[in-house]
Amino acid sequence: MAVQRGRHFLQIPGPSNVPDRILRAIDNPTMDHRGPAFGVMSREILQGLHGVFGCAGPVIIYPASGTGAWEAALVNTLSAGDRVLMYETGWFATLWRELAGKLGLEAEFLSGDWRHGADPAAMEARLREDRDHAIKAVCVVHNETSTGVTSRVAEVRAAIDRAGHPALLMVDTISSLGSMDYRHDDWGVDVTVAGSQKGLMLPPGLSFNAISQKALAASKSARLPRAFWDWEAMLKANATGYFPYTPATNLLYGLREAIAMLEEEGMANVFARHHRLAEATRRAVRAWGLEVLCQEPQEYSSVLTAVLLPEGHDADVFRRITLEKFNMSLGNGLGKLQGRVFRIGHLGDMNELMLCGTLAGVEMGLAAAGVPHAKGGVQAAMDYLNGNA
């Protein structure tokens, strides 16, 4: 491969670009995770996470990828044979469902078309049918990273309440937390699942469960086996700033810095920035004459945009050419979208000029790959970002 200079453009929808400040924070000597300085740091982090999740209750940190936190949410609250209601928003909802099945849960899937978010009305109808309350949990992916479609979590909560159903509400925010408005407490979520490598701007390796009092109560009678993921042991150790096993110390240095960066900018500004970059991206896609996969404007993702290629054009060939010629990684199509879409990540430590560079790379890549398109996508994005559109 030819030597490439300058920064690689990592424009997949996570892992996202890690800011230098966070890299520098991680690049410190590992400290004694049972010593006094560590206890002070982790108490500060556990406190700071409340503002990020919008919660007053506990947030658990695992040294694991997001999949671990998916599993933790289920094994701490449910028992073998319990029914969970999930919604097929895309590839990640499908994986979470498979994981639930492997744990011995009865995972029921409401089918979706991968172009819309979870349908609150369909969920309400199913919950109303469930008169004996066999369904113990409702699981929704907030930002479906495979499609760039979000689900309206507050409306799902309202649907559960209208049905008068006691099921727990679990939400995967692995790719939305720290990028899009999310409110664990206000939206009545029982378990929020999150990961480090997207809006939190950290490398992969940490994941989270934010827990409501109702979820905590459910964990007392839940019977699925759990050891590594056990909330009880974590909460006991966390109360004094420690962990039941060796934590990912250096990633925690990075997490402390990430929380400081989010607080400095202000969460509302973080969300507005992501919204602006996403809107500019959609304007570029439309100017190219291509189609945004998400079909419902109120469900557009601010984190990524999935773009459909015209029939007969392979998105993976386009991505390969863009990587080789312009040193930029774009997200691939997952599951049934393989080869049909590419995904532009515009999350985390991103600004206007990084986005313009990204969109220029896409526009040049489309031309290089012979994908039919109109010119002027980057111009449309620039006009919007400059307030001229």
Q: Which stretch binds ligand PLP (CB under 6 A): 25-33, 117-125, 167-175, 271-279?
A: 167-175
* 14 belongs to the binding site for ligand PLP (CB under 6 A): yes
* 195 belongs to the binding site for ligand PLP (CB under 6 A): yes
**Which of 230, 366, 226 is CA-nearest to residue 307?**
366
* 331 belongs to the binding site for ligand PLP (CB under 6 A): no
Torsion of CA 278, 268, 47, 217, to 10 degrees: -80
How many residues bind to ligand PLP according to rule CB under 6 A?
A: 12
* 147 belongs to the binding site for ligand PLP (CB under 6 A): no
* 65 belongs to the binding site for ligand PLP (CB under 6 A): yes
Instruction: Give the residue, chosen from 54, 58, 63, 66, that forms a contact with ligand PLP under the rule CB under 6 A.
Output: 66
* 71 belongs to the binding site for ligand PLP (CB under 6 A): no
* 92 belongs to the binding site for ligand PLP (CB under 6 A): yes
CB burial of residue 29 (10 Å; 0-12, 13-18, 19+): exposed
* 145 belongs to the binding site for ligand PLP (CB under 6 A): yes
Give 149's strand partners: 144, 300
Residue type, 246: T
CB burial of residue 37 (10 Å; 0-12, 13-18, 19+): exposed
* 332 belongs to the binding site for ligand PLP (CB under 6 A): no
* 329 belongs to the binding site for ligand PLP (CB under 6 A): no
Q: Which stretch binds ligand PLP (CB under 6 A): 170-178, 232-240, 248-256, 292-300?
A: 170-178
* 172 belongs to the binding site for ligand PLP (CB under 6 A): yes
Q: How far is CA 8 from the centre of its chain?
A: 22
The residue count for the chain:
389
Cβ contacts of 294 within 8 Å, gap of 6 or more: 115, 116, 147, 148, 149, 300, 301, 305, 306
* 119 belongs to the binding site for ligand PLP (CB under 6 A): no
CB 90 within 8 A of CB 144: yes
Rounded to the nearest whole angstrom, what is the least distance from the CB of residue 209 to ligand PLP in the complex? 13
CB 140 within 8 A of CB 151: yes
Q: Which is nearer to ligand PLP, 149 or 371 (CB)?
A: 149
* 206 belongs to the binding site for ligand PLP (CB under 6 A): no
* 141 belongs to the binding site for ligand PLP (CB under 6 A): yes
Interface residues toward ligand PLP, by CB under 6 A: 14, 65-67, 92, 141, 145, 172, 174-175, 195, 204
